[in-house]
Amino acid sequence: MLSQYKHILVSVDGSKEADRAFSKAVAVAARNQATLDILHVIDTRAFQNVSSFDSAMVEQISGDAKTKMEDYADRAKQAGIDEVHYAIEFGSPKSIISHDYPSKHQTDLIILGATGLNAVERMLIGSVTEYVTRTADCDVMVIRTPLS
């Protein structure tokens, strides 16, 4: 029996893989007539190593993320998704994507790209995608293929 997903979460980080995941999430949401939540997590650990922490830098990163998220939401609505929400969260992408956000929003499917922007983190402590697939309480779809 096929699952009928009602609350789909797609995580985006600006990478090509995340764009592919977004496109797939729009298609799955349309097929299931589901709500689409678009999530971008700003990893606050990146700011811990900045010697001259500047709040203007955080505001700029947040502003850039908001612009991108509004674009994603507009694209989803233009593709026929009736209920689209986006969120920008601060913290650990692994825990926010796999547990925190889905538990608050009744997510029943998480869609994300096979790899993201942060190659250094992936080498040192493992990929966000790998962590989410191992620990999420709902179904996870990993997008590996390029768009056709």
pTM, full prediction: 0.87
pLDDT digits (tens, 9 = 90+) for 34-49: 999 999 999 877 666 5
pLDDT digits (tens, 9 = 90+) for 108-144: 999 998 865 555 544 544 588 889 999 999 999 999 8
70 found inside a domain: yes
Q: Is the dihedral of CA 43, 45, 49, 50 positive or negative?
A: positive
- When divided into structural domains, the chain yields a total of 1
What is the pLDDT, as a whole number, of residue 129?
A: 86
Inside any domain, residue 2: no
Flag whether 44 is in a domain.
yes
Whether residue 148 lies inside any domain: the answer is no
CATH number of the domain where residue 21 is located: 3.40.50.620
Containing structural domain, residue 135:
7-143
32 within a domain of the structure (yes/no): yes
Average pLDDT over residues 39-64: 75
65 in a domain, yes or no? Answer: yes
